[in-house]
Amino acid sequence: MNPTLAFTLLAHRPQEIPRVAQWWCDEWGLPSRHSSFAEYVHELQALVPGTLPLHLLADQAGCVVGVATLKVKIDHPMIPGQSHWLSGVYVDPAWRGRGAASSLCSEILEAAKSLLVEHVYLQTEHLDGGLYARLGWTPLGRHHEADGVEQVVMVKDLSRAARAGGDGAT
């Protein structure tokens, strides 16, 4: 079921930037901070490897089949201060149902752990948590985006105590 995937940073495969930008725009629309698709592509072309946001590609035999992002948000309405977020999880429709999204999420969490991130958040329109609930993410509550879309915010605890199976108490 789960294909053997390789993972690489989008910054290392700049030729894939237009495809990834198109996937995201087709799925969620052009980000409001941009006035054109070309401007969005230009922003992605300015990525610096080793810094956030980190856009991770899933590759099957030389073909990019999906992408996911680890980024920093400042002062989300439910999470004050600086926090790390999983976002932009997208798998090409021809590759859905084969474990690529789960693998991308796992790889992003490994990247977060390597950066010593203790909590990663996400928000999804699937109010039951969908894939993320099945992957063990914990719902924190519901939130309405500026466009009125209701979403559930979830967290994955990557702290040392969580990895050890403890509750964090000393």
Q: Supply the pLDDT for residue 170.
A: 33
In contact, 98 and 3? CB cutoff 8 Å? yes
Measured over the CA atoms of residue 45, residue 46, residue 47 and residue 49, the dihedral's sign is positive
pLDDT value, residue 5: 94
Tokens of 169: 């108490």
What is residue 86's predicted lDDT score, i.e. its pLDDT? 98
The pLDDT value given to residue 166: 53
| Residue 145: closest CA among 82, 86, 76, 70 | 76
| DSSP codes, 133-146 | HHTTPEEEEEEE-T
CA distance 92 to 87: 16
Reference 131, options 91, 76, 78, 84; nearest CA is 91
What are the residue ranges in the chain where pLDDT is below 50? 1, 167-170
Question: What pLDDT, in 10s, does the model give residues 8-43?
Answer: 999 999 999 999 999 999 999 998 888 999 999 999
Rounded alpha-carbon distances, angstroms, from residue 85 to 27, 54, 62, 118, 157: 18, 11, 27, 11, 12
Give the pLDDT score at 49: 85
The per-residue pLDDT for 19 is: 96
In the three-class reduction of DSSP (H, G, I as helix; E, B as strand; rest coil), residue 125 is classed as coil
Residue 167 has what pLDDT? 47
Going from the N-terminus, what domains does the chain have, and what CATH number goes with each? 6-117 (3.40.630.30)
Residue 152: predicted pLDDT: 95
